Amino acid sequence: MRPPIAGDSTLDWDLGSPSRTNRRMVVVVVSIVGAILVAIGGWRLLAGGSGTTPTPATGAAGAVTLASPSGYEGEAGYPIGFPHTEAGAVSAAAAALEAAWTLDAAQAQHAAVLYAPPEQREAARAGARAAVAGWRETLGLPKSGALPEGAAMRTKTIGVQWRPRADDLVQVSVLVQVTATKGVQDTDPTYSSPYAMSLLMTWNPGMRGPGRGDWVNIPDPAPAPVPAVALPGTPEFTAAGWKPLSGPDPTP
């Protein structure tokens, strides 16, 4: 497997997978063609709604408790149906990112469609396929088809911050820890790295059925700088504005 990769990278859905020669990590955007989401931080090796309801609750040391979904979709149990609150927007963004960052093309397409507005679903599917191929290529895995036994990638939210932009419109920054392995036959250590990205979430009252609604990710016409990557418990984490999580994970 490759040595640790340093440097920033971006991936627009329209760009497809990156060249292996530039030795940069691909970043998978959740749902929409044209949304450019930035992943920051180098690989490091490891040894083993709006206005009327509360914002995300904070506990000890400013920890955020994510909102619970009203249901789960499919065999993978993707969380859906988040509250029409800022807490719901933050929780939906974290759930969408965790579901979409994967080495499995079918899973990525399902997640991309699930958290995209209906009019953008076909573009979301195409983008998800290209992004999975890019992740696989970066890790030295087949760009399509079956993966080696044990090959997997997991994304876990470790910090969030948010800013309301308008009614039913919330800019959410999500800090995740991504770990990946090439399979049981791979003798290299597991790769792990924190990444940060921002998603613009809007409330769509037509999602999930009549009278329900949910938060979806849409292109940001005026993207703000992504907060600096830092690990929870460090002064840099607090200085960058991140809030740690408490309570259950956004995805099961």
Do residues 32 and 218 touch, judged by C-beta distance below 8 A?
yes
**Whole-number pLDDT of residue 43:** 28
Identify whether 211 is part of a domain: yes
Identify whether 66 is part of a domain: yes
Cα–Cα distance measured from residue 168 to residue 61, given in angstroms and rounded to the nearest whole number = 28
Do residues 2 and 192 touch, judged by C-beta distance below 8 A?
no
Identify whether 252 is part of a domain: no
**Whole-number pLDDT of residue 143:** 92
Please give the tally of structural domains in the chain: 1
Do residues 157 and 37 touch, judged by C-beta distance below 8 A?
no
Q: Which of 20, 28, 26 is nearest to 2 (CA)?
A: 20
pTM, 2 dp? 0.74
245-246 and 214-218 beta bridge pairing? unpaired
Element (H, E) at 136: helix 121-139
User: In terms of residue numbers, what domain contains 192?
Assistant: 9-246
Q: What dihedral angle (degrees, nearest 10) is formed by the CA atoms of 3, 5, 11, 15?
A: -50
Identify whether 241 is part of a domain: yes
233: DSSP letter:
T
**Whole-number pLDDT of residue 249:** 53
Identify whether 1 is part of a domain: no
Element (H, E) at 180: strand 169-181
DSSP 3-state percent helix, strand, coil across the chain (nearest 5): 25, 25, 50
Q: Which of 193, 155, 197, 153 is nearest to 174 (CA)?
A: 197
Identify whether 3 is part of a domain: no
Cα–Cα distance measured from residue 134 to residue 26, given in angstroms and rounded to the nearest whole number = 6
Identify whether 4 is part of a domain: no
Identify whether 251 is part of a domain: no
**Whole-number pLDDT of residue 189:** 67
**Whole-number pLDDT of residue 251:** 54
For the chain, 252 residues long, the average pLDDT of each consecutive 10-residue run is 30 27 31 29 28 40 88 88 97 92 90 90 86 85 91 93 97 94 79 89 94 92 92 95 78 52
State pLDDT tens for residues 165-190.
Answer: 999 999 999 999 989 988 888 777 67
169-181 and 191-204 beta bridge pairing? antiparallel
Q: How many CB atoms lie within 10 A of CB 188?
A: 12
